[in-house]
Amino acid sequence: MTGQEHVRFVALGDSFTEGVGDKDFRLPNDCRGWADRVAEELARRDPRTSYANLAVRGRRLRQIVDEQLDAALALEPTLFSFYAGGNDLLMARLDLNALMRKYENAVKRLTASGARVLLFTGYNVPLSPALEPLKLRTAVYNTHVRRIAANHGALLVDYWCFEKFQDPRMWAPDRLHMSTPGHVYMAKKVLEVLGAPHTLTSPALSPLRPRTRVELMLDDAAWLRRDAAPWISRRFRGVTSGDALSACWPGLMPVVLPERLGTAKVASRG
């Protein structure tokens, strides 16, 4: 990243950008995530860097556009990140062409501001073999995202191509969100796309221990009981895990570096 103007970074999206899976009980919503880590690295290089994160878990594209887009544009950032549509892809019924028209209209508004815009492809999240058909839907979504990024001059973080995420340790126990190593690696890849110097390294993971069929079955059963069943229940009831939550960092503010947090929880500031 070049130029004298300091970075004003605003992140929009859902749980992927909020940071779910990267637990930090000192922070709002008890999570940190790749976007926080990117902001921290930018601030290490330029302490004038400011940051807002409007993302809230469970949000679909329509909600992200309705609740976050105008607020983000009003902050007049120099850099946006925009990931949306992941929760829509998990819906039983979906008009993908209509979804991507709405997505592209949002990207047009972001790029028209003159700020740099980061877009993301989706990943084939390893939920369960029973949900393998979602891979095709995600692949079509990714084709649209790549086209939109090229047509509107946005930067692209091609998550789909990151082979490191084939390792299950890059995922939280719920199998839907990245783990702390996953968020660190994503932050590293984002900074590389930005061309920004950073201090992050790829997570060092030891070789996986082979698991027996019984261990795999017990793990699947625990996942179904602990994570899948509550998620399905929320879908039937029309609620999400983010309904009672607000954005972690709703207004541009100086970046809080982790070594300065101590043990007290930081309050969200607007």
Q: What's the 3-state SS for the chain?
A: CCCCCCCEEEEECCHHHHCCCCECCCCHHHECHHHHHHHHHHHHHCCCCEEEECCCCCCCHHHHHHHHHHHHHHCCCCEEEECCCHHHHCCCCCCHHHHHHHHHHHHHHHHHCCCEEEEECCCCCCCCHHHCCHHHHHHHHHHHHHHHHHHHCCEEECHHHCHHHHCHHHECCCCCCECHHHHHHHHHHHHHHHCCCCCCCCCCCCCCCCCCHHHHHHHHHHHHHHHHHHHHHHHHHCCCCCCCCCCCEEEEEECCCHHHCCCCCCCCCC
Q: What is the pLDDT of residues 6-22, one digit of tens each?
A: 999 999 999 999 999 99
Q: What is the pLDDT of residues 155-200, one digit of tens each?
A: 999 999 998 998 999 999 998 899 999 999 999 999 999 999 999 9
Spatial distance between the Cα atoms of 130 and 179, rounded to a whole number of angstroms: 22
Residue 229 corresponds to which amino acid?
Answer: A
Q: How confident is the model at residue 202 (pLDDT cuts 50, 70, 90)?
A: confident
Give me 98's structure tokens: 């209509």
Sequence ranges of the domains in the chain: 8-202
Q: How confident is the model at residue 4 (pLDDT cuts 50, 70, 90)?
A: low
Q: Tell me which residue of 218, 123, 132 sits closest to 167, measured CA to CA.
A: 123
What pLDDT was estimated at residue 173?
92
C-beta of residue 241 within 8 angstroms of C-beta of residue 30:
no
- Cα angle 17-207-225, degrees, rounded to a multiple of 5: 55
CATH 3.40.50.150 fits 8-202, yes or no: no
C-beta of residue 64 within 8 angstroms of C-beta of residue 266:
no
pLDDT over 90 (residue 221): no
